[in-house]
Chains A and B, each alone.
Chain A
Amino acid sequence: MKEIPLLSEISEEGRETISLPNDIEFSPYKELPKELLRENLPLPQISEVEIVRHFTNLSLRNFGVDLGFYPLGSCTMKYNPKINEDLANLPGFTKLHPYTPEDLSQGALQIIYELEKLLCNITGMDRFTFQPSAGAHGELTGLLIIKAYLKDKGENRNTVLVPDSAHGTNPASAAMAGFKTLEIPSDERGLVDPNILKNYVNEDTAVLMLTNPNTLGLFEKDIEKIADIIHQKGALLYYDGANLNGIMGYARPGDMGFDVIHLNLHKTFSTPHGGGGPGAGPVGVKSFLTPYLPKPVVDFNGEKYYLNFNIPKSIGRVRSFYGNFSVILKAYIYIRLMGEEGLKKTTEMAVLNANYLKEKLKAIFYLPYPTLCKHEFVLSCKKQKEKGVKTIDIAKRILDFGIHAPTIYFPLIVEEALMIEPTETETKYTLDNFVSILEEINKEIEENIEIIKTAPHNTPIKRLDETLAAKNLKVKWE
């Protein structure tokens, strides 16, 4: 397939672009000193039709959930109802400036207020802040809340514990919040063992960060014991909500003993992921931590919704304005569309799909933790590696069949990991088809191994050289 030229390559000096009013009386070029003004603005000059074609052609070289199966583990690539989009695009929301007086933005404030109530119910927490723009942003916020709380109590605890299966964002957020990280080894079940954990918890422990179900897709069965150990030592328990899709209606972080949580609204509560964002990572806390929440929060005085800035011990802000409002709005719409039964069914179908796929695929790949999983599971391609293909080769070959590859090489504790999250919106037919594709690829290892090692073949471009990119480091057009 032909390369699509860059915008800079289709630009032509002097081409007219957009139509705008002409009634300029006050010109900066007459009124401002020359040294404040720019001489040259090197942006491209391209006609509208060429731009539309450029991006339409680019979009044809991109894969999304609307095109096919996207079992990218830990990312919850479910189908998102289109009605979310239409409603979030109502001018009452899109045209609303964040500094609109409260009496003229009651609808937006009502959405935030009501979503908070719903999320409290779903998770068992007492209050939420909606400022964090993504999961990792939520982690940082949660850790800063914990830090402020401990400081207030006169305690100087410096260590954040994370299991060795944790998302990379956990230790990275801990570092940004000024903590040091200590990794806890998972046991042979793939879980945190309370007896091992005990050895790591001491007077310096500020918090244990856990994903439950964890990144292996396994429910941390000993969570109540874990919570006791942590709390007895005066530390707190943090919930990384990336995997909430696996437990809704069956378990609530608040009931499990978590003190602070973040949710990834874009995953569990359905916002298209937009090529990497925007998302939203609201943070929920138990009541003893509400004095430290970022300000403002939204409250209701019986007549009006209002922004409450009166949080004297607040950690401050983590973002301007109130968060990624339109993502918040889509989560609200989704939850109301689903209702109690629907959200529970979301989890049930996600877990059914995952277990079905796991049991089918264990005939082909090594399954390191052969037990019930929640919404996702992790396989290992180590048998295939012995025969000469790596996980990345298999992932690239999967692309040839019009399917997105699973997450690879994560979690780090599984050799040649292949992490699969089918989500609830996929049919049995899609899952069965995925199984046959993997069977076929597995057969190719015996019959035509080169086809895997040089995959993909049916994509607009062949396998890309990542080492070359890092070596040459060309990050903009010349």
Chain B
Amino acid sequence: MPYFPHTSKEIKEMLDFLGIKSIEELFEDIPKSIREKARKNFKLPEALSEIEIYKKIEEISNKNTGKDYISFLGGGAYYHYIPPVVKHIISYPTFYTSYTPYQAEISQGFLQAMFEYQSLICELTGMEVANSSLYEAGSGIAEASLMAHRINGRKEILISKGVHPEYREVLKTYINGMKLNYKEISLDEKGETDLNILKESLSNETSCLIIQSPNFFGVIETKLKEISELLHQNNSLFICSVYPISLGILKPPGEYKADIVVGEGQCLGSPLNFGGPYLGIFATKREFIRQIPGRLVGETKDLEGKRGYVLTLQTREQHIKRSRATSNICTNEALTALATTVYLSLLGKKGLRKVAELCYDRAHYAKKRLLESINTLELTYPSYFFNEFVIKLNKPVKTVYQALKDKKILAGIPLEKFFPERDKELLLAFTEMNTKEEIDYLVKSMKEALE
């Protein structure tokens, strides 16, 4: 096997040096009973050669036929264009095969890139500090809520029903451990977080409110400034979950004074990869810097006064603070954060705005075409949206969805998947990767399927 460099001669020399006769002797500290069980039960298939594994995996990958469909799937993971430069750069072996930069002097490359990542995230979100990544948005929301609880000591976490249902599930799991209360705020008929219910729900136990905009149903929340003021009057924190691409055109959360911003960074330069690795974006105000979960890179100087970068405020972290750390996170998503750094610098100011405009354009073109072509179809929420919206059919979506599948179209996400009673609704997403021809084909095929 090519991954073990030892020759038999070298193994013998090493054993001789250790004064033992066989490799087995190196395992005599493991009780015999345990070794016996392993000998009996450790049964794996025989090794495959590289040629064999290549063929096998290629064959398995071809069973993922979904990759060849025209897709309007979104719901937190989006098919965006990734400029080839991104993959080239994250594949550089000195980036790719390094680990957490504990030895700063030989990790300046990654550390500077993470400093740049933090800076770019701040600019994108309008916030003052960003960490150097969490796992993904769901656990990011959970970490943000735990941070809010650390800051104000209050026990109730409010979350809008517009937040992705899976993120809400993650939050529930996390705060269960900490015995915090969880309360959902319903949406109004426009699909926005209901302001009246929110007002009634606020109390002196409200630690924070989490809102996602555009929300899971694609709706842009229009009253964020008012909500932010309400929360701050109540001494509660405002946590905003964002779709980073939309920030190419939409007002950043920093401008309506969000306290913590989280978001799914997959859309910024990472492939869909069946759900991971993704990227948990996390940014906040400077005053909360000591409560941030995860790693933080800071600028400093070397012995000669030259600018350099190190991991900083490590006293917040688990390897120093142990049970009193701000989070247990150690391994994070540094490489995905690097991809995002490259992506954001490649697109820059004009590029990101353009991508956002294209997403907006494709979705609004689709809305117009769908509504003018199919008169039985309606929008669930007649509201402002970015690149995603919910349509309601006049019958259950199941057969229609299948008919479109037969035409190689994945017509979004049936909402039934998350809300069993909503069996007539589809969540459709559009990005710059969808051409107008594809959208016309979707409209035509859906019209046929509904007739």
Contact = CB atoms under 8 A, between A and B. Distances in A.
Contacts of A65: 97-98
A233 B46 CA distance: 41
Interface stretch (A194-202, A217-225, A442-450): A217-225
Interface string A72-90: 1001010111010111011
Contacts of B327: 172, 176
Interface residues of A, number: 202
Contact of B347 (A36, A43, A59, A99): A43
Interface in B358-399: 358, 360-361, 364-365, 368, 384, 386
A363 interface: no
Contact of B53 (A64, A266, A333, A349): A333
B113 interface: yes
A383 interface: no
A77 B179 CA distance: 38
A136 B64 contact: no
Contacts of B128: 476
A425 B4 CA distance: 5
B231 interface: no
A337 to B, nearest CB: 6
A16 B354 CA distance: 12
Nearest to A427: B5
B298 A95 contact: no
A274 B335 contact: yes
Given A41-B349, A274-B96, A62 B106 contact: yes
Nearest to A180: B323
A275 B26 contact: no
A427 B6 contact: yes
Nearest to A94: B271
Nearest to A345: B4
B197 interface: no
Given A58-B112, A121-B42, A275 B66 contact: no
A436 interface: no
Which of A70, A275, A427 has the most C-beta atoms of chain B within 10 angstroms of its own C-beta? A275
B338 to A, nearest CB: 6
Interface in A424-478: 424-428, 454, 456, 459-466, 468-470, 472-477
Given A62-B108, A273-B99, A17 B275 contact: no
Nearest to A338: B47
Contacts of A469: 298-300, 310, 312
Nearest to A13: B349
B422 to A, nearest CB: 15
B203 to A, nearest CB: 23
Contacts of A317: 138, 166, 169-170, 173
6 contacts: A94-B272, A124-B41, A218-B29, A340-B46, A346-B4, A461-B105
Nearest to A218: B29
A476 B277 contact: no
B248 interface: yes
Contacts of B92: 55-56, 59
A25 B362 CA distance: 9
Given A63-B106, A321-B276, A337 B69 contact: no
A134 B295 CA distance: 14
Interface string B297-324: 1111111101111101101011111111
A87 B53 contact: yes
Q: Is the interface of B mostly helix, strand, loop or mixed?
A: helix
A391 B60 CA distance: 49
A288 interface: no
Given A60-B109, A95-B271, A464 B301 contact: yes
A44 B187 CA distance: 37
A235 interface: no
Contacts of A86: 54
A406 B36 CA distance: 34
Interface stretch (B77-85, B154-162, B188-196, B440-448): B77-85
B325 to A, nearest CB: 4
Which of B2, B37, B146, B349 has the most C-beta atoms of chain A within 10 angstroms of its own C-beta? B349
B251 A428 contact: no
B191 to A, nearest CB: 15
Give the 7 A-B CB pairs with smallest separation, nearest first.
A321-B275, A92-B61, A274-B335, A339-B47, A62-B109, A100-B66, A64-B97
Nearest to B251: A38
Contacts of A352: 6, 11, 14-15, 23, 26
A460 B104 CA distance: 10
Interface string A121-139: 1101000000001111101
A251 interface: yes
Nearest to A27: B357
Interface in B228-264: 247-252, 255, 264
